[in-house]
């Protein structure tokens, strides 16, 4: 009787341990340029579930990377690309629905991330994602000066300046700024604009400065990425093997519409795998969960 109970308890413990072992979704993207392996983020469940659904339906199979821009990104997922003729314009196809935006402050556009394409803000103020089109960031490594340039919102600065210069007391400042602009000394003009940021914020109440977390700065100045896309497009995954394949595809010869001259097709499969196995196979360390 005691032996039977011991065996039962051991089986129960084993089952419980297996059930608690965390899993993640692994995506394999096969191309003529090589293979990329990615994970899908748990923080963007709508995008993850949609991508898994389409992949299992073989929706992506034989679609092209139809738009590639070196030091920026490679884009695909348009179903119209499967049978597209050479030179045919692509980028308007999809499954007929969008996915609500899922912005997360922990997820940003470092090299290798999967992010959802979408229509522009005018037609799409909610920034909803395309149902199938996505891009993989190629990006570039940023200098310290470029990081500093990212720390203020240029659109908000221009809006704030216009609002401030509507007030009569600021006319002399506007005149001096225009004089500097027409002198042709653009570095001095840009420097002066940045110097005016605190004054604009105080006079108009418009928040121009942006806080960029140190983690992002470290990644953007070492690994690289496309930070101007942060908080504008939903990041939902990350390549953990095959970054060199992104380099090769991004460097492909292309036409005036950024479509590669040689068709670069993709075939995508997904599978669930324990995080422990993912780490063992690909060396990817999952971020620790903060309690």
Domain ranges of the chain: 23-143+213-282, 152-204
State the pLDDT at residue 19: 44
**And the tokens for 54?**
């389409």
Average pLDDT of the segment spanning 158-166: 91
CATH code, 23-143+213-282:
2.40.100.10
Residue with the two structure tokens 């005149």: 175
Distance of CA 174 to the CA centre of its chain: 38
DSSP sequence for 76-141 = E--GGGTTPPTT-------SS-EE-----TT---BTTEEEE----TTT-TT-PEESS-EEEE--BP
State the pLDDT at residue 4: 56
Residue 15 has pLDDT above 70, yes or no: no
For residue 75, give the nearest of 108, 116, 23 by alpha carbon: 116
Burial of 256 (0-12, 13-18, 19+ CB in 10 A): exposed
Q: What confidence category does residue 248 fall into, taking pLDDT thresholds of 50, 70 and 90? A: very high
State the pLDDT at residue 290: 54
104/239 Cα distance (integer angstroms) = 18
* 3 state SS of 30: strand
Q: What confidence category does residue 3 fall into, taking pLDDT thresholds of 50, 70 and 90? A: low
**And the tokens for 183?**
């002198």
Q: In the predicted model, what is the mean pLDDT of the chain? A: 91
167/143 Cα distance (integer angstroms) = 37
Residues 27 and 55 sit within 8 Å (Cβ to Cβ): yes
Q: What confidence category does residue 17 fall into, taking pLDDT thresholds of 50, 70 and 90? A: very low
**And the tokens for 220?**
């953007």
44/32 Cα distance (integer angstroms) = 29
22-52 residue pLDDT tens: 999 999 999 999 999 999 999 999 999 999 9
Tell whether pTM > 0.75.
yes
Residues 40 and 102 sit within 8 Å (Cβ to Cβ): no
55/46 Cα distance (integer angstroms) = 14
Comparing 40 with 209, which gets the higher pLDDT? Answer: 40
């Amino acid at each position: 009787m005691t032996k039977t109970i011991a065996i039962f308890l051991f089986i129960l413990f084993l089952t419980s341990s297996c059930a608690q072992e965390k899993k993640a979704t692994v995506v394999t993207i096969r191309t003529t340029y090589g293979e990329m392996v990615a994970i899908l983020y748990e923080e963007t469940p709508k995008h993850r579930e949609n991508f898994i659904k389409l992949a299992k339906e073989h929706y992506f199979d034989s679609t092209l990377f139809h738009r590639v821009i070196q030091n920026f990104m490679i884009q695909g997922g348009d179903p119209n690309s499967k049978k597209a003729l050479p030179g045919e314009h692509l980028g308007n196809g999809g499954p007929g629905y969008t996915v609500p935006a899922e912005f997360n402050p922990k997820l940003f556009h470092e090299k290798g991330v999967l992010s959802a394409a979408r229509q522009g803000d005018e037609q799409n103020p909610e920034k909803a994602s395309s149902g199938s089109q996505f891009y993989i960031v190629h990006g570039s490594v940023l200098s310290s000066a470029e990081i500093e340039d990212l720390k203020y919102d240029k659109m908000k600065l221009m809006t704030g300046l216009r609002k401030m210069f509507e007030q009569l007391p600021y006319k002399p400042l506007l005149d001096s700024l225009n004089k500097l602009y027409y002198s042709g000394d653009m570095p001095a003009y840009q420097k002066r604009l940045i110097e005016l940021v605190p004054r604009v914020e105080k006079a108009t109440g418009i928040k121009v400065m942006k806080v960029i977390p140190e983690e992002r700065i470290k990644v953007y100045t070492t690994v690289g990425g496309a930070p101007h896309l942060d908080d504008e497009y939903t990041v939902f995954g990350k390549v953990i093997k095959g970054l060199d394949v992104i380099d090769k595809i991004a460097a492909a010869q292309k036409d005036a519409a950024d479509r590669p001259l040689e068709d670069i097709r993709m075939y995508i499969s997904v599978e669930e795998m324990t995080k422990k196995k993912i780490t063992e196979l690909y060396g990817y360390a999952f971020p620790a969960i903060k309690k």
